[in-house]
Chains A and B, each alone.
Chain A
């Protein structure tokens, strides 16, 4: 629905359309530019296998997905937020809060279940607060979430007393990250399920269509009678919950929950969304794009590690990729307008 040309459906509507070969060549152009990132991903995978034949081993692929499941979940939320015309910089802090609470509450209550509910609720509360600040107080989302990010980070530090919670006497704590279903680690199940549900929500439901409308033209959405404030808030709540869940998964994997993690989460999640081709302007984009963006960045990271590229160079490369992706988006946009 976010895509102007839908060749298949256009034909299904019936009666011969007056669009000629010119239109068809334009369709092909649109088709290629739409799926260009798929091409990039395939090329990257080919390069990866050439450099590193073990790349396609199930174990390696499993590792890649597991390691990226947390940032993947956050990128899903970020996709919703960005399409709705917003921005969320507080995901890193919420991730840290989720990790800290999950470990801390497990130690304090002895129950992984209670800790999970607590951490998840905290994430939803953070999202609700973000949503209220943005939609009711009309604070620019960039500033609003930068502010709440600092507050949440502070709370996580105070709660943990600035030292990590190490969970070493509760084996159930690590189930969230290490349990396997049908031989596949739980985080991969969670990630894939989240992507499928999110893609369905955004592309196939009225809720999703309203998100596009709010991000595409806020005034029009309001004039048509949508609950614009509620719509705007909902995406932050979703993202808060996903960020907390991401924090829980990572603390479960490490057996540790601490407040000083997640600094790069917001940038990484935004990078995934943008590389996939979702526009920062709002109103356009898709979940499958973020899935492609996630796989591209994950593959790239894996290649870097296999080549022993240092962390610092990786940071530089990631920054360049984000800037390049946004620039390409801007250029394509200017072209299509001309």
Chain B
């Protein structure tokens, strides 16, 4: 048992029930002062709920939580804050119309004699930027910043609050690989100052890199909590899912069919330059590049979301005009699963209806459960969804299950070409494996799939060919079946450094 004063945070016997069901059960957790403590587990394992109780956002039903030896009041964010706990939440909690500076100081405006002092807030903001080597324009409304910049602002808010314990819920999920370095730098400096850090993450490399201590949760309970030295990636995954789970490289590749889609010379001023892609039935094409390299813009152009895009398009061997609207793209057989699940699902609706909206119902004009249920069940099952749950509201499902429904919804339309943007973002390891594996099965059935992911390892695992995007161009193409490439080489192309370095 460690010395009590060395413990920054102690949870003993903490439980939380939602509608009678345990979300967190009898959790005992000790975090030593000045260490970085990672909390990992699959979606729905209870990590965010535990963080919520510590921060006072949620009420714990049983147990006690104490900070530096003092007990916290139940469900009082104010009490937690006064004990030095600062939380950076997973969802961005910013006011879009306010500037970066105003958002960083939201709720704790610096004031002199009751008058807010813009100058001192701005000065402090720039100070933080300099200290952590971050470049964010202070006076721009946050809505004009990219999602990842907003995430950095969110973290800066946590930093400026100067807490003794900083808790972060998936701080890197919205960040591109290059931007994660900023986060790591910030955390390293905070640790040096003596701040205790507790964070939740799905990125195991990051967890292993940053933490002193790693705690794994599964099914609402803590299964193991040990010092970093006792863990490796494999053992974490085993603890998380209760068995070995690994992203397996696609081995056998089906014979490719006819050309499904042929995109020639797609241009969008300032964003895409001369993009040409050919995809055949049975093929999975991987796109990889940094955030902002044009991957998502490419998808959106093809899906009719960017009417200004120009290019020529052949689908199933026929020339077709470039789609100018979503409806046009869909009617030509293009399907897209966007990167944001929240933008693509009606959360209050059940899975079956989410599957069917936008499609022609089996009986014109009418909803026919007898005809609709089996189809939705069949297609969602293909992606590993438990079809007993097709009548549950989507908002009650985990991110992984939501993703499976979205994939089923679009794959079920049997599109000529299937565009899948970041299918594994923010979902747990088990679901990741299922999603990737089902995409390769879909290709084996003859679909033409183009998929992107920020995780290079994942795109490599599923794709037959990898196209590297950089600054709106395809800078290189790799045949992933051959072994004549290295990850370093791909990264070089992605970062646009190939010429200088080679």
Contacts and interface: CB of A to CB of B under 8 A. Distances in A.
Interface of A: 1-2, 4-6, 9-10, 13, 15, 17-18, 22-23, 25-26, 29, 203-210, 212-213, 216-217, 219-227, 283-284, 336, 338
A217 B347 contact: yes
A25 B366 CA distance: 33
B353 A223 contact: no
A17 B388 contact: yes
Nearest to B388: A17
B349 A22 contact: no
A29 B18 CA distance: 12
B20 interface: yes
B326 A10 contact: no
Given A25-B20, A225-B326, A284-B348, A209 B357 contact: yes
B20 A26 contact: yes
A1 B349 contact: yes
A118 to B, nearest CB: 30
Interface in B40-71: 58-59
Contact of B343 (A23, A206, A223): A223
A13 B388 contact: yes
Contacts of A204: 366-367
B236 to A, nearest CB: 26
Majority secondary structure of chain A interface residues (helix, strand, loop or mixed) = helix
24 contacts: A2-B348, A4-B350, A5-B391, A10-B388, A13-B387, A13-B388, A204-B366, A205-B365, A205-B366, A209-B353, A209-B357, A213-B357, A216-B346, A219-B344, A220-B343, A220-B345, A221-B346, A223-B338, A223-B344, A224-B357, A224-B409, A227-B327, A336-B19, A338-B59
B247 interface: no
Nearest to A212: B349
Contacts of A226: 357-358
Given A4-B350, A223-B343, A338 B18 contact: yes
Given A15-B388, A25-B20, 7 more contacts: A13-B377, A209-B367, A212-B348, A217-B347, A220-B343, A220-B345, A220-B346
A25 B20 CA distance: 8
Contact of B326 (A205, A209, A210, A222): A222
A2 B365 contact: no
B369 interface: yes
Interface residues of B, number: 40
Nearest to B331: A225
Contacts of B390: 13
A23 B391 CA distance: 14
Contacts of A221: 346, 357-358
Contact of B393 (A4, A25, A207, A223): A4
A226 B359 CA distance: 9
Contacts of A203: 367
A224 B358 contact: yes
Chain B CB within 10 Å — which of A18, A206, A220 has the most? A220
B396 interface: yes
A203 B353 CA distance: 12
Contacts of B367: 1, 203-206, 208-209
B392 interface: yes
Interface centre among A204, A223, A284 (most CB of B within 10 A): A223
Contacts of A29: 19
B356 interface: yes
B330 interface: yes
Nearest to B395: A4
Contacts of B365: 205-207
